[in-house]
Each structure stands twice: as C-alpha cells, then as structure tokens.
A and B are shown apart, each in its own frame.
Chain A
Amino acid sequence: MSSSFLNVQGLRKTFGGHLVVLDDINFEMQAGERVVVIGPSGSGKSTLLRCVMGLEKIDSGRIELEGTPYIEANANRRKDNFVDIAVRNKVGMVFQHYTLFPHLTVLGNLILAPMRARGEARASATDRAMQLLRRLGLEAKAGAFPGMLSGGQKQRVAIARALLLDPKIMLFDEVTSALDPELVTEVEGVMLELAEQKMSMMIVTHDMWFAKRIATRVIFSANGRIVEDCPPAKMFSSPSEPRTADFLKKVLHVETIS
C-alpha cells in the first residue's frame, strides 16, 4: 500500500504473448495532478490508458486507486485479472471516436449508467444531467440523437456522460484527434475547465501546445517504457533524454517550445 492516488506497479501488457506493448511500467500520481502522456505512434499510450480503465487484460502487475488495488494480474496467466469493479467505476474515460450510443438521445446517453447501473431515480439523474449540459452549453441538444451532432458536440457529450458518474480520475485518449481544427478548442476548453476544478486526469494527445498548457506533469513513453517523466516546463525546454529531444524535434519542427 502506498499513499499515492493512482499507483501502477510492474504493469506488463502483451498482445498474444509475443508483442510486448507495455514493459514493466511503474508510475504514481497524486490527486489533482494532470499527467499528459506523449510519445511516438504505437508506443503504447492508448494501451496504458486502457489498462488503467480495465479494458485490457494485463499480463502482470497491479493498479491501485487511493490505496486499493483494483486490477491485478493473476499468477496463472490463462486466468482473468482480478478486478474490483466498484473501485474501477471511479475511473472515467473518453475515447477518440466518441463512442456515444447511437440509439439513445444525448440525455439518454447521460442518464443510462446513473439510472440502470447505480439505481439513481430518473428525475434526479435527469436533473443533474441537464445542469451539466447547461454548463457545457449543450442544453438545447438534450433531445438530439448523436448522429445529428457535430464532432465537437459529440465529444463534449461523451465527456459529460463520463462526468455525470462523479469519477475520481478522468482518462482522455486523443479526444480531439478526430475533430476538425475549428472544433478542437471547444473540447479543449472543457478539459481546461476541469483542470481548474482540480480534476485528476491522464491525457494522451499529439498536441504539444495543449499538453504544455494543461499538464502538471508530462510523461514521454517509447517502446513500452517510460523514458522521461517531468514537469512540462522542463520537458519542452530541456528534456534530459536524447530520445525525448529527438521526438519533440520531429513533432514540433523546432528545438523546444517556450
């Protein structure tokens, strides 16, 4: 047991046993921190988030939230992971492709889990959902189906859907990558607002400027390992690892950003 908020210990993840995607990842995070994960394509950033969410079966290691292990690899690798669903439900996640339920309205998407999985009354769930939608400027869209929304609106609804479950930590996997450029800021705005409210977040993004703006800490991962882990100011001005500098140079076309 440790005192940290989120604690990933010895996490190893392979696909089919031979393709090693995450190799002995150890990392801790305090409440209120906003950790941005950057790294080359295929380096396992999405997989890391999916493991923390409990979407992938891990090969070894364990993940704790507030001192309680909620995902733990079984010693017998053929068996399923141990998963404490009550704790896992304190983790929220937003995906690149929205993944809204197309057959439900915006409001229906929001209140499904509170009502059906948590037993909240429809009136109270609807109340909270409408409040949240109002805050995000989506009140008028409550009755619309996802197919009729813009990408930015869809992604904000997806964020609202996760927030309505009062998560302790939110995971964002490239949530703006599928959006038209002019819609990116409306989604980033919501995330910055969450940052102001001290929401704990893990964010995967390819937008280094946004990373610099929102992060309290940046992790550079490559080949399934954490190569560098430091505050954004240091990461983007004077990274200590040559591999990090190399990567940043490629994606930014300049030495550093300030």
Chain B
Amino acid sequence: MNISAALGFLWEYRQALLIGLGNTLYFTALGLLVGLVIGFVVSVVRTAGHPLLKLVATGYVEVFRGTPMLIQLFWFFFCLPALLGVELGNVFSTILTLSLYMGAISSESFRAALKAIGTEQRDACIALGLPGRVSVPYVILPQTVMRAVPTLLSNCVTLFKESALVSTVGMADLMYQGQMIADSTARPIEILTATALIYFIIAFATTRIVTFYEQGYLARMRL
C-alpha cells in the first residue's frame, strides 16, 4: 500500500472525520459532566445514606455495571420513549445513556476514595468543631477528588471509548463517520486505521496524564 496515496485519500475526508470527532468529544464531555455529578452523589449516598436510598443507589450501580452498554443504549433509544410515551430525541438519549453509565462507574471510584479518607480525618473534623457544611466541602470533598482523580481519568477514557457504541444507533460520531466513509469508498483499511489511531492518540495521552499526576502530584502530597 502506498502511504502518500493513503494520506491523500484521508485528507479528502478530513472534514467528515473532524465532524465525527467533534461529536464524539461533545457526547463524551456532556456524559462526563453529568456522570461525575451523579457518581459523586451516588457514592455519598452509598457511604452514608438512608438504608433504602442506599439500596436504590447500589441497584443502579450494579445494573449499569452489569449490563452491556449496547443494551443500555438500545433500551434508552427504543424502549424508554415508548414507555414514557414521549419523544426524547436521539441526542438526549445518547447523553442520558453515557451519563448514567459514567455515573455508575465513577461512583465506584469516588466510593473507594471516600473510604480511603478514613475515620481519623472525620474525628479531627469533630474535634475541631467543623459542622458538615464545612467539613464536606473543605475537608472531605477535596481529598476525595484528589485521590479519585487517577481512577476518574481512567473512567473518562473508558467513557470516551465506549462512546463509539453510539454509532450503532446512527449517531454521527467518529466511529460512525469512519464506517460510513469506509463503506461508501470501499477503502476500509486507510479510514478505519485512521479512526483507530485518532481514538488511540486521545486515550493514550489521557492515560499518560494519569501516570504523571500519580507519580508527581499525589506522591508529593503524600495523600
């Protein structure tokens, strides 16, 4: 295969690929934002909530971690609107699925970090007379986030990769665009390889940041 011919071919379709990448990043970012909020709330509920709420939160996490994201996607695309009797819109369904998935996986990361803070820090808060409205935002949350950041970043990578599934319900993300071009031009090798490389570069760079953060920042802080 001729490399420069391949690059020339790819260059022709840069626009379509970029649009796909933009959509992938857009879906991932929104799913991430909503998912992280859900994840933190769920982890706090599971650590220190009312028993009934705890049960609901645990059920949510287990179901979303225990079923393929593909089926979740199909469910939110084809079942939920019919059940509710309303049109949800494809973008909404996509982001809903990604958010709930991210919420489930990130709640586990938050929970592990919450556990790692330990009772001694809580004792210190009481001994200093810090009420919950002070200890949660100024002591517990910052330490939880700092400890959780490495796993949360890998959760982000996971979400980014899983987001490729939205192509199967016709959302025009990077994977979808790649496949469309591959099918219409009958030149899958170049385009699919390029698609894979784009995913790889972004995901790999993020995992490097994780390592850097763990070795540098966290080690210095001796958290």
Contact = CB atoms under 8 A, between A and B. Distances in A.
Interface of A: 50, 53-55, 85, 88-89, 91-93, 95, 97, 99-103, 112-113, 116-118, 145-147, 161-162, 165
Contacts, number: 67
Interface centre among A100, A102, A161, A165 (most CB of B within 10 A): A102
Given A99-B120, A103-B221, A55 B130 contact: no
Interface string B134-146: 1000110011001
Contacts of B208: none
B198 interface: no
Given A97-B120, A101-B143, A103-B146, A116 B127 contact: no
Contacts of A116: 130, 134, 138
Contacts of B138: 112, 116
B211 interface: no
A117 B221 CA distance: 25
A53 B223 contact: no
Contacts of A50: 123
Contacts of A89: 129
B20 to A, nearest CB: 40
Given A99-B124, A117-B128, A117-B134, 6 more contacts: A50-B123, A95-B120, A102-B221, A112-B138, A113-B129, A116-B134
A165 B129 contact: yes
B124 A101 contact: yes
Contact of B143 (A53, A92, A102, A112): A102
B127 A147 contact: no
B131 interface: yes
Nearest to B131: A117
B223 A165 contact: no
A53 B223 CA distance: 26
A5 to B, nearest CB: 19
